[in-house]
Structures are given as C-alpha cells and as structure tokens.
Amino acid sequence: MTLRFKLALAALLLAPLPAAAHHGWAGQDNSKVTTLEGKIDAVRYRNPHAEIDLTQAGQKWTVTLAPIERMETRGITQASLKVGDTVRIAGHRNLDMAKYEVKANEITLGGKTTGLR
Amino acid sequence: MEALSAAILSAAAVLEGSSLGATMRGGRGVYPAVNVAHVAGLVLLVGGILVVDLRTVGLGRAIPLAPLSRLVTPLAVAGLLLLAGSGFLLFAADAGPLVRSAVFQAKLALIAAALVNALLFRRLFGDFADGRQPPMLARTMAVLSIGLWLVAGALGRLIAYT
C-alpha cells in the first residue's frame, strides 16, 4: 500500500467518527414500551415530525409522531388531533429521564389504533 | 458577542415564523421533496470533489488532472448551489432549534472551512493544466477536503439524532 493510498483511506475513514459518537435521539429506551394516556394540550401538525403535548396525572409529556405525509396516508389528518381529545400512545421513552418525551409507535384515537412506524 | 447571538436567534425566529417556514412545515410533500433535492446536491458536490481530490493525492495517475477537474468543477458548483438553496429552505422549517443545535453549528463551521480550503487551493495551485504532479501541500489540502466534506455530510444526517 503506497503512502498516498494510505492518506486517502485515512481521509475516507474519518467520516464515520461522528456516527460513533452519537446514540440516536440521545438514546431511547428500547427495552420496554411506554404507554401514555391523557388529554391533548397542544398539536404541532408539521414536518419534519408532527408532535403533540399531553398531560397524564399532572405530568406534561411531549410525543413525537411521524412526518405529516405518513400521518395522512395512515388516516391521521390535522383534523383528527384536537386539543382536549383523549389520546393513548405506545412508544419508546427518551433515555434522558429529565425529559418527558416519547417517540410514538402507535396512537389510539376514538377507539382506533394506528401504527406510525 | 452576545448582541450577535441575540441577532442570530432573532433572525432565526423571524424566518421560522415566516410564510416560507410555514409552507416548509405544512405543505404536503414539500419538505420531503426539498430533502431529496438536498441529498442530490450532496451527491453532485461530494461525488465529483472526492474523485478530483483522490486524483490530486495521486490515485489514478493515468487520468490527466486538469481535464478531470474541468469536467467535475461545474458539477460540484451546481451541487453546492442546490445544497445551499435546499438547505436554506430546510432551515426555514425549523430555524430556532437548528440554530441552537451544536451538530448543526459544527456542520456549518466545517462547510465554511471546506470552502476556504477549496478557494485557497484554487488560488495557490490553479488547475494543474501544465500536467505537473501536485506538490505535498496540494495533496494535504486534497486530503483535508475529503475529510471536511464527508464529515460535514455526516453531520447533516446526524442533526436528526440529537
């Protein structure tokens, strides 16, 4: 292997370093499913990801849903999510326990459960 | 310094709150399409630059460097313009959180460094039209170019994970 080839290879191998340093969304707890049920406080029906805030037993949670195109394809339109509605969420919680955040796998509205992943 | 931060945060808020920002967030199919354009820009830019940089370092000596560079440079510039345009639109969707993101800030810093490196290279070495072998400094700057662009690209992808 010539020196210049080694130099080129080193440059190419530098690229994955940032990937090794990150865990993804500060890490999510994949060991168990977190379920939440509460009233919707706020709806942000938007890209890159729709979000809702809900309150369960006095605690406010932020739930990340899916991009709006995916939500619409699966039948959850902007009109489906209203402040004051009761919603049930199943997903994975942010490993940072100081943040009450969940990435939703499923959302149940009016008795109907829709997968978001 | 604090006045500059305040100005940047304020400008980001204005952009995010604009109708452009609203369209990027709420228009059906808009964000995905702009995202795809951003990836296409990255392919055009980095695909070409990588090949010219590797040739500058010394791979593929059978290929003359000057004609290769003349072919690739306009493609890379087109890619850069596509990246900048689509990037601005993606930024508008989420300007507030993005401007506060360390990963995003690092990405912009690396892009700035890569551009300075590229312009300096052009200034110092032209396009090697005389067929001479690039000197050590040129080869070093080519390696730096590869590293900076690939890491900047990776950071762009990783913004979503922090």
Tell me, what amino acid is at B137?
L
pTM of the predicted protein model: 0.84
**Residues A7/B136, Cβ–Cβ less than 8 Å:** no
Statement: residue A19 has pLDDT above 80: no
Q: Nearest C-alpha of chain B: how many angstroms from A75? A: 14
What does the pLDDT look like over B20-43, one tens digit per residue? 999 999 999 999 999 999 999 999
CB-count exposure of residue A67 (10 Å: 0-12, 13-18, 19+): middle
Residue B144: predicted pLDDT? 98
Q: Which of A6, A7, A69, A94 to mutate to test the interface with B (most CBs of B within 10 A)?
A: A7
Statement: residue A22 has pLDDT above 60: no
Number of domains in chain A: 1
User: Cα B71–B64–A15 angle (5° rounding)?
Assistant: 70
Beta-sheet pairing, A51-56 with A112-115: unpaired
A84 within domain boundaries: yes
What ipTM, to 2 d.p.?
0.79
Nearest to A35 by CA among A78, A94, A89: A89
Q: Binning pLDDT at 50, 70 and 90, where does residue B117 land?
A: very high
Subunit contact A4:B158, Cβ cutoff 8 A: no
Q: Binning pLDDT at 50, 70 and 90, where does residue A106 land?
A: very high
Statement: residue A6 has pLDDT above 70: no
What does the pLDDT look like over B44-89, one tens digit per residue? 999 999 999 999 999 999 999 999 999 999 999 999 999 999 999 9
A62 within domain boundaries: yes
Q: Binning pLDDT at 50, 70 and 90, where does residue A5 land?
A: low
Going from N- to C-terminal start, the domains of chain B cover: 2-161
Subunit contact A12:B146, Cβ cutoff 8 A: yes
Beta-sheet pairing, A112-115 with A86-93: unpaired
Residue B25 contacts A, CB cutoff 8 Å: yes
Subunit contact B158:A26, Cβ cutoff 8 A: no
A1 within domain boundaries: no
Residue B16 contacts A, CB cutoff 8 Å: no
What average pLDDT does chain B have?
Answer: 95
A96 within domain boundaries: yes
| B 63-92 → A contacts, CB under 8 A | none
Domain extent, residue A50, equals 27-115
Query: Cα–Cα distance between A62 and A45 in angstroms, integer?
Result: 13
Q: Binning pLDDT at 50, 70 and 90, where does residue B132 land?
A: confident
Q: Which of A4, A43, A51 to mutate to test the interface with B (most CBs of B within 10 A)?
A: A4
Q: Output the CA–CA distances (angstroms, integers) from residue A5 to B54, B58, B118, in the order listed.
A: 9, 8, 21
Q: Binning pLDDT at 50, 70 and 90, where does residue A21 land?
A: very low
Query: Cα–Cα distance between B134 and B91 in angstroms, integer?
Result: 38
Q: Binning pLDDT at 50, 70 and 90, where does residue A18 land?
A: very low
A46 within domain boundaries: yes
- For the CA atoms of B93, B30, A102, A85, the dihedral, rounded to the nearest 10 degrees, stands at 100
